[in-house]
Chain A
């Protein structure tokens, strides 16, 4: 397992770097003014599925804190929510054996479910409650913000992340894929 732990250290670092780059520099206009599509959560979900909950959690947290720092102020509650998001997706992903090249109906359902639960917990509960407790912000405002963030992240993580995982699974030769002729 030593082998695996080095890989997890590296995956956390590279995952955080990818999160940072996607969050900080890559934004696709959504058509709605001042609202951009960002992909960091899709990437985080992909890393959580491939490398497991610890990598999903830490890479998101490190990536989020670095991104916030580069803007000059860390939103700990939201960074913590990001960490929980990766953790939950990673825990669900124990049921997805992506490394065997499997990403079909059952895995997709698990993935969508994982994202649903993770987004509800992270942006529906942790981030807004944290903001209410720590920043004493108005409940209506933070729950609305959480809802918008959660819905957007859910959509992009499922659609983009799903496409990425599907593409990744195609690059892996399935075990037992050889046929006897």
Chain B
């Protein structure tokens, strides 16, 4: 099974040409703003920006089909759950109630509930192109240098780059271990009982954890031999030079973030309420 961890798709585009640091700033500022804001106008603007960015990146929808299917399933399930749990949450949140039609029992469809669920789904939808934009257009090797550039200590950045480097190895370890344990009759399939399955999974996980631990010793020994951690800073092989475009995009992100927060909070809370004027 060949796995692409974070699905980097190399291409020639404006977004690809930006440095990883810039893309990390886009990602963080947009996803924090999307998280903090519940203002429909701000969210719609973010959606516009992220779709714009997505089309600039020349990534095709067919290249991210699995992820988008997952997202659609998630949003639909989440919307159904939200409605089943509390169909009156929207009216409570917005302080008014406009009945559209009655469904059954305590379930009424109200305009406020629809609007609330529209906002929630919108937040999930926006997160998607932003994350895809970042992971599909940023070389994983550049990721660590970008983290370090925005002020994350280089040891932590290096941990991230180690994680990205070793995910495929650990995955290979896992499939080797589980296959050899299966050959010895330790199965995880549907035909064994629940507790048997728990016990068997520990028998697969223990070798996996132990190999990971010995791998940690190996890697840290070799890093020590190369004097890792001796100096306060380090340079990054994959670091891209910042260009004028980078600075312009970063400035734009900061403006969007600040203005977005101001608009969001002008009503005293982070809601946009069209119902109570």
**Do these two chains interact?**
yes
Binds B, one of A63-71, A81-89, A112-120, A173-181: A63-71
Complex interface: chain A residues within 8 A of B40 (CB): none
Shortest beta-carbon contacts, A-B, top 9: A13-B162, A73-B127, A16-B163, A12-B159, A13-B159, A163-B202, A141-B85, A7-B220, A10-B220
CB pair B5–A70 under 8 Å, yes or no, is yes
> Could you say which of B127, B215, B220 contacts A72, with CB atoms under 8 Å apart?
B127
Complex interface: chain A residues within 8 A of B158 (CB): 9, 13
- The contact string, 1 if C-beta is below 8 Å from chain B, for chain A 144-171, is 1000000000001001100110011001
Asked if A17 is an interface residue, CB under 8 A from chain B, the answer is: yes
Complex interface: chain A residues within 8 A of B156 (CB): 9, 12, 58
Total contacting residues, chain A, CB less than 8 A: 58
Distance between Cα atoms of A144 and B171 in the complex (Å): 32
Asked if B44 is an interface residue, CB under 8 A from chain A, the answer is: no
Total cross-chain contacts (CB, 8 A): 185
- Which has the most chain B C-beta neighbours within 10 Å: A15, A136, A164, A171? A136
Complex interface: chain A residues within 8 A of B123 (CB): 135
Asked if B167 is an interface residue, CB under 8 A from chain A, the answer is: yes
CB pair B71–A39 under 8 Å, yes or no, is no
Chain A interface, >50% SS class: helix
Asked if A37 is an interface residue, CB under 8 A from chain B, the answer is: yes
Asked if B89 is an interface residue, CB under 8 A from chain A, the answer is: yes
Binding site for A on B (CB under 8 A): 3, 5-7, 31-32, 35-36, 38, 64, 67-68, 70-71, 81-82, 85-86, 89, 93, 116, 119-120, 123-124, 127-128, 131-132, 134-135, 155-156, 158-167, 169-171, 174, 188, 190, 194, 197-199, 201-202, 205-206, 208-210, 212-213, 215-217, 219-220, 223-224, 228-229, 271
> Could you say which of A17, A138, A168 contacts B166, with CB atoms under 8 Å apart?
A17
> Could you say which of A3, A46, A62, A73 contacts B163, with CB atoms under 8 Å apart?
A62
Asked if A106 is an interface residue, CB under 8 A from chain B, the answer is: no
CB pair A138–B82 under 8 Å, yes or no, is yes
Complex interface: chain A residues within 8 A of B198 (CB): 37, 156, 159-160
> Could you say which of A5, A21, A30, A37 contacts B167, with CB atoms under 8 Å apart?
A21
Complex interface: chain A residues within 8 A of B165 (CB): 13, 17
With contacts A9-B228, A164-B209 taken as known, whether A69 is within 8 angstroms of B6 at the C-beta atoms is yes
Distance between Cα atoms of A31 and B189 in the complex (Å): 10
CB pair B202–A73 under 8 Å, yes or no, is no
Distance between Cα atoms of A66 and B32 in the complex (Å): 16
Binding site for B on A (CB under 8 A): 2-3, 5-7, 9-18, 20-21, 25-26, 28-31, 37, 39, 42-43, 46, 50, 58-59, 62-63, 66, 68-74, 76, 134-138, 140-141, 144, 156, 159-160, 163-164, 167-168, 171
With contacts A5-B155, A138-B85, A138-B89 taken as known, whether A69 is within 8 angstroms of B135 at the C-beta atoms is yes
CB pair A5–B229 under 8 Å, yes or no, is yes
Distance between Cα atoms of A56 and B276 in the complex (Å): 47
Complex interface: chain B residues within 8 A of A163 (CB): 199, 202, 206
Distance between Cα atoms of A66 and B81 in the complex (Å): 26
CB pair B223–A6 under 8 Å, yes or no, is yes
> Could you say which of A9, A138, A168 contacts B213, with CB atoms under 8 Å apart?
A168
With contacts A5-B155, A11-B216, A29-B190 taken as known, whether A72 is within 8 angstroms of B5 at the C-beta atoms is no
